[in-house]
Structure 1
C-alpha cells in the first residue's frame, strides 16, 4: 500500500497545528493535549504519525507543538514519523519538537504530556483536551496542577478540509468506486439456479460473506484498507447463497494510506422483474440526486436530510417510518474524513462551508422485500456541491 508523500504530510501538519493554535487563542487557553492511538483522528490530524503501537500524545501551545511518543515504541514504526514531525517546516512561527522517552524515565504518555506542558508554559496552566481524552491522561494533567477542561477545537477544525485533504479523500473514494465495479462485475457474471434462484459464481454458491471477502480483496488491490467496514446485506443470510430477484446492498468505507476514508453504498438486483424494488430504487436514486443537486454552499447541513426525505416522500414512501417491522426510510448527510463518521452531524444547523466533505445517503426498507440503499461522498465547493468520484447508481449489476 502506497504511503503519502512526505511533503504532503508536512503541509497537513502545518495547516492543522496552525488552526488549533488559533482556536487556543480564542479560548484563552495555554495548551491543548491530545492523547490517543493510531486510530485517534484528532491525534493523526495534528501529527500525521501513521501506524504505531500503544498511545502517543501531542501538546500544542501558542508557539510550539510537541509529540510524546509511546513509552515502548517500535523504533522502526515510530522513529521516522516523529522525525518527519520534528522536521516539518515552521508555520506561523510554531516550532515542532519530540519529547524523548528517556526525559521522563519511560513514564506513561499522559504523565509525559503533563510534564511537557509544565516545561513549556509553567505550572497551573489552563489546558484543554478533547472530550474523549483517556481518563488516566486527564488524571495526570490534573495531578500536575493544570486546570483541565474539554474542547471541540480539533473536532471543529477537522470539518473544513484543505485541498490536500480533499485530494486524499478523493483518492480513497476513487478506490472504493474501482472496488464497487469489481463487485458488480462478479454479480453480472453469476449464473442463476433455476429452482432456488440462488447465485453461483465460478461454479460455487455466492453468499454475502463470500462477496464481502471479494470486495475487500478488490479494495486491497486498489491500494486502500477495507478497515473492517465492508458490508453485504440481502434478505438471504450470510451462510445462504444470494438470490436473483432480491436487492443486494454493498457498503464500502475504506481507509486510505493517509488515514482518510471513503464511503460508497450501492444496491443491485440480479435478474429482477421490477415491482417494489424498482419503485423503491427510483425513489432512493432521485432522493440522493435531489440532496446533492438542490443544496448550495451556505445552506444548513440539515437541509441535505430534509431534501432527501422530501424526495423519498414524493415517491409515496413515508419519510417518517422508523419501525423495522413495518418498514423504514432513511435520509441524511454527515462528515467524513480521518474518521469514518465525523462532524458535521446530519441535524446540524451549521452552514455548509466550502471544503466540507459529507456522506449523503438515502434508503427505503421493507420487511417483505429487503432494502434499497445508496450513499455517495460529496464535497462543498465555492458555488456547488458535487460528488468526489462518479459511480453508477443503476439497479442492474451489468450497468457498472
Structure 2
C-alpha cells in the first residue's frame, strides 16, 4: 500500500522513478533500519542500494526490495541501475539532498532528467494507520510513566542533567529503543529557552521546571511536556500556568479534520495574546509526530497545511519570560473528523503541577 501511493505520485507527475534518501522515509517504505541506504522506486520495481555493512540486514528487513551493492559511492552504481530500469525522468528528495550529492548524481546520470520533488513520502507518512497510532500510543504511555517516575524522585538540589538522566534511564529500562531527542529539564531562568539543554544547574524549590521528554518504541516517537514546581510557587506561576492550560484546552476542543493548521494555532495564540503575553509565545502550536519527532503537518501561524483525519500532532502552547522561566504544556493528539483523541495521560491541572 505504501509503495502504491508512491507509484500513484509517479504516474501523476510523469516520473519514471523516485530516489528516496531521507531516513524515516526510507524506513517507512522499506523497513530498513540501517544508517546508510537509498531507495529507487519505479512503477514496477523497488531497489535498495547500500554498502557491505547492511547486505544481510537488507535481506532480513526489506522483503520485496532488490539489493544493489555499493562498494564506494552510490553515484558509481547509479548509471547501470537507471539503464536497467529504463528510467529517463527521475524524481529526488530535493529538501534533503545536499548540493554535493546532487552534483555527483548529475554527473553520473547525464542522460536522465532529474526532477526535484517535495516531501511526498512525508505527506503520505503524515496520515497514520491504526497500526501506527497503536505504536505511538505505546511510546506515549511510556513517556507518561517516565514523567510520573521523575515526579516521585525529583528533589531540590538535583541537577537538571541528573533529572534528565533519571528519565532517560527509566525509559531505556522500560522498553524504549532510545530517547526521541535530547531530553529537556529546564529550571528557573533556563525555562525561558524553549529548547534549553539540561545543565549542571541545581534545581531550586519554588521555581518552574519545564520537562520535555519523549522516547521511541517500535520505531515511533512520543513527545510530552509538563511544567512543575517543587514546593510553593511564586505568585506569577499560577497565573501563567492557568493561562497556558486554558490556551491548550481551548485548542484541543476545537481542532478537527479539515481545519487549517494555522487556524488551530490561532485559537491558542489568541488566548495568550489577549492576556498580554503574545510576544512570549514565539513558536508554533505543534507539529506532527511519528517515525520522526518533528514531521508533517506543521501547526503554526505560517503553516500552509490542512489537518486530516489520522494526523498525529502535538498541542504545546508556552509562555517564556527572560530571567524568570517558562511554562509549556504538551499533549499528543490524534486528529479525527469531529475532534481529537488526546493520547497523553499525564495530569496537567494546576494542583498536579505543584510537587
Same fold (TM over 0.5): yes
- In structure 2, the residue matched to 1:178 is 145
Residue among 164, 172, 179 paired with 1:220 = 172
Superposition pairs for residues 144-159 of structure 1, below 5 Å? 144=109, 145-152=111-118, 153-159=120-126
Residue among 110, 127, 143 paired with 2:90 = 127
CA 1:115–1:136: 2 relative to 1, 3 Å: farther
Matches of 1:375 and 1:114, distance apart in 2: 48
- In structure 2, the residue matched to 1:79 is 56
* Alignment deviations for residues 107-151 of structure 1 (CA, whole Å, 9 cap, x no partner): 4234334432321125xx110011112445433433222111211
Give, in angstroms, the shift of residue 351 of structure 1.
Answer: 2.2
- Residue range with higher mean Cα deviation, 131-140 or 289-298: 131-140
Give, in angstroms, the shift of residue 369 of structure 1.
Answer: 2.4
Residue among 19, 26, 33 paired with 2:19 = 33
- In structure 1, the residue matched to 2:297 is 344
- In structure 2, the residue matched to 1:93 is none
Contact 1:236 1:242 in 2 (8 A): no
Matches of 1:164 and 1:81, distance apart in 2: 23
Residue among 18, 23, 41 paired with 2:9 = 23
Residue among 161, 174, 183 paired with 2:128 = 161
Matches of 1:385 and 1:114, distance apart in 2: 48
- In structure 2, the residue matched to 1:111 is 76
Superposition pairs for residues 299-318 of structure 1, below 5 Å? 299-314=259-274, 316-318=275-277
Contact 1:270 1:397 in 2 (8 A): no
User: What is the root-mean-square deviation of aligned Cα atoms in Å?
Assistant: 2.2
Radius of gyration: which is bigger? 1
- Residue range with higher mean Cα deviation, 373-382 or 133-142: 133-142
Residue among 203, 212, 232 paired with 1:251 = 212
Matches of 1:348 and 1:235, distance apart in 2: 31
Contact 2:224 2:344 in 1 (8 A): no
Superposition pairs for residues 1-400 of structure 1, below 5 Å? 15-35=1-21, 40-50=23-33, 52-53=34-35, 55-69=36-50, 71-74=51-54, 78-86=55-63, 96-101=64-69, 106-122=71-87, 125-131=88-94, 132-142=96-106, 143-144=108-109, 145-152=111-118, 153-187=120-154, 190=155, 199=156, 205-224=157-176, 225-235=178-188, 238-258=199-219, 260-314=220-274, 316-319=275-278, 321=279, 327-328=280-281, 330-345=283-298, 346=300, 347-396=302-351
Residue ranges of structure 1 left out of the alignment (5+ in a row):
1-14, 87-95, 191-198, 200-204, 322-326
Matches of 2:282 and 2:247, distance apart in 1: 11
Matches of 1:25 and 1:97, distance apart in 2: 20
Residue ranges of structure 2 left out of the alignment (5+ in a row):
191-198
* Alignment deviations for residues 178-213 of structure 1 (CA, whole Å, 9 cap, x no partner): 1111111113xx3xxxxxxxx1xxxxx301111011
Q: Tell me the number of residue pairs that the alignment of Structure 1 and Structure 2 aligns.
A: 340
CA 1:328–1:293: 2 relative to 1, 3 Å: closer
SS at match of 1:255: strand
- In structure 1, the residue matched to 2:195 is none
Matches of 1:281 and 1:299, distance apart in 2: 27
Contact 1:252 1:265 in 2 (8 A): yes
SS at match of 1:65: strand
Give, in angstroms, the shift of residue 299 of structure 1.
Answer: 0.8
CA 1:161–1:113: 2 relative to 1, 3 Å: farther
Give, in angstroms, the shift of residue 329 of structure 1.
Answer: 5.2
Contact 1:208 1:233 in 2 (8 A): yes
Contact 1:219 1:226 in 2 (8 A): yes
* Alignment deviations for residues 280-299 of structure 1 (CA, whole Å, 9 cap, x no partner): 00001111111111122111
